[in-house]
Amino acid sequence: MCEERSVEESQKCPCDELNLQSHVPVMADEVVDFFSGGLNEGLLVDGTSGAGGHLEMLSRALPGMTFLAIDRDPASITNLRSRFRNNPDVIVRQGSYTEIPEIINELGLGQASAALFDLGLSSIQLDDPLRGFSYRSDGPLDMRFDDSSGSTAAEVLNRRSEKEIADIIYIYGEEGRSRRIAKAIVRNRPVNTTLELVEIINGSVRRNSNKILSRVFQALRIAVNRELDELDRMIDELDSWTVVGARIAFITFHSLEDRRIKLLFRDTPLYQQHSPRWVVPGEDELQRNSRARSARLRMGIRI
Ligand SMILES: C[S@@+](CC[C@H](N)C(=O)[O-])C[C@H]1O[C@@H](n2cnc3c(N)ncnc32)[C@H](O)[C@@H]1O
């Protein structure tokens, strides 16, 4: 299998095929197996708790542990609070995973024995037209995980220069037609809705291509949420809040994030790659959940 995947797959949603209204946790059995091997007490941080699918399975499999559930999205936090209201072992906090050291400190939880990061966005977010993540339904071009701060995707497109927009599309979307698309966006400003953007992109490349749409939408989402900067910051501080021997797992959905995790576990002396180097979903899971197709699970141990 090719080490580097294209970015476009991450727009695929299981809801497209299965018409689900919820998020299906990806490689949940593999994640539970990894954490179950050797852990029976201490703190497990789920830095991207989303709908709480992984968390639910982990809290059942590891009853002696305390779980800290973090998500940047206030709507996810509301759902998590409700889902785990009867589970005193699960503590839920809104925030970025870059804030984990402060949150752990404030709660007096001590260092973590385990951490999970299931990167990207949940199917619930992708499926909600009001969030503006999907090119398949009309809605405001927002795309913020945390809608209480930062610029929306519309603000990015309406305020940044043509060159900046082209760079976003090229670097974060790996889309070769970035300049042509950026020129068309600037010519048609203001751009305020997802379907306005879809029309501009399709017009500029003179065809309807879901691949191009998903690359551009993904690029914008990464830029709006500064996803790669956040990931780099979190990786830099990971050793400060994890114990030696901690089990750490990442699920990535595109090459830009996966490359970072590969280097973390392969080349950083503070971590040891767990074997196998990565895991991909099996055929059964792909039958049930098409979004899992682009997922890769990487596991490492803090040494
Ligand atoms: C793929 S979903 C996680 C799904 C979850 N594992 C489950 O089983 O339901 C990714 C989640 O990460 C959150 N997220 C993205 N960037 C984040 C960040 N910097 N800090 C915390 N959460 C973040 C998103 O809001 C989203 O809910």
- CB atoms under 10 Å from CB of 146, counted, come to 17
pLDDT at 94: 98
User: Residues 6 or more apart from 117 whose CB is under 8 A from it?
Assistant: 47, 48, 97, 234, 249, 250, 251
Answer yes or no: do 19 and 113 share one domain: yes
* Position 249 in a domain: yes
pLDDT at 251 over 70: yes
pLDDT at 184: 98
pLDDT at 17: 33
Hey, is 113 helix, strand or coil?
strand
For every residue of 35-104, DSSP letters joined together read: HHTT-SSEEEEETT-TTSHHHHHHHHH-TTEEEEEEES-HHHHHHHHHHTTT-TTEEEEES-GGGHHHHH
In the listed set 201, 225, 249, which residue is the last one of a domain according to the structure? 225
* Position 221 in a domain: yes
**Which atom of ligand 1 sits closest to the CA of residue 234?**
19
CATH number, domain with residue 176:
1.10.150.170
pLDDT at 208: 85
* Position 72 in a domain: yes
Over residues 34-85, the pLDDT tens digits come to 999 877 789 999 999 999 999 999 999 999 999 999 999 999 999 999 999 9
Q: Which residue owns the Cα nearest ligand 1 atom 27?
A: 50
Q: Which of 103, 122, 233, 251 to mutate to test ligand 1, by most ligand atoms within 8 A of the CB atom?
A: 122
In the listed set 196, 225, 254, which residue is the last one of a domain according to the structure? 225
Residue 13 pLDDT grade (very low, low, confident, very high; cuts 50, 70, 90):
very low
pLDDT at 233: 98
Over residues 198-228, the pLDDT tens digits come to 999 999 998 889 999 999 999 999 999 999 9
- Evaluate whether 72 touches 50 at the Cβ level (below 8 Å): no
* Position 1 in a domain: no
Residue 116 pLDDT grade (very low, low, confident, very high; cuts 50, 70, 90):
very high
If one compares 288 and 9, the residue with the highest pLDDT of the two is 288
Run of H or E residues at 301? strand 296-302
Q: 230 CB less than 6 Å from ligand 1?
A: yes
**Which atom of ligand 1 sits closest to the CA of residue 46?**
6
Its sign, for the CA torsion 258, 33, 55, 57, is positive
Q: 252 CB less than 6 Å from ligand 1?
A: no
102-113 burial code (b ≥16 CB/10 A, e <16): ebbeeeebebbb
Measured in Å, residue 226 CA sits from the centre of ligand 1 at 14
* Position 21 in a domain: yes
Q: Which of 12, 24, 31, 49 to mutate to test ligand 1, by most ligand atoms within 8 A of the CB atom?
A: 49
Its sign, for the CA torsion 76, 51, 246, 39, is positive
Give me the percent of the chain exceeding a pLDDT of 90. Answer: 87
Q: 93 CB less than 6 Å from ligand 1?
A: no
Please give the distance of CA 142 from its chain centroid, rounded to a whole number.
Answer: 16
pLDDT at 241 over 50: yes
Range of the domain at 220: 129-225
If one compares 197 and 12, the residue with the highest pLDDT of the two is 197
Run of H or E residues at 245? strand 242-252
Measured in Å, residue 99 CA sits from the centre of ligand 1 at 14
pLDDT at 201: 98
Answer yes or no: do 21 and 114 share one domain: yes
In the listed set 176, 205, 225, which residue is the last one of a domain according to the structure? 225
Q: 75 CB less than 6 Å from ligand 1?
A: no
- Evaluate whether 9 touches 253 at the Cβ level (below 8 Å): yes
Q: Which of 29, 125, 145, 231 to mutate to test ligand 1, by most ligand atoms within 8 A of the CB atom?
A: 145
- CB atoms under 10 Å from CB of 197, counted, come to 25
Mean pLDDT across the chain, nearest whole number?
92
pLDDT at 111 over 80: yes
Look at the block and give the residue holding tokens 């030696």: 244
Q: 48 CB less than 6 Å from ligand 1?
A: yes
pLDDT at 143 over 50: yes
Q: Which residue owns the Cα nearest ligand 1 atom 20?
A: 96
pLDDT at 124 over 80: yes
CATH number, domain with residue 47:
3.40.50.150
Q: Which of 26, 29, 72 to mutate to test ligand 1, by most ligand atoms within 8 A of the CB atom?
A: 72
Q: Report yes or no on whether pTM surpasses 0.85.
A: yes
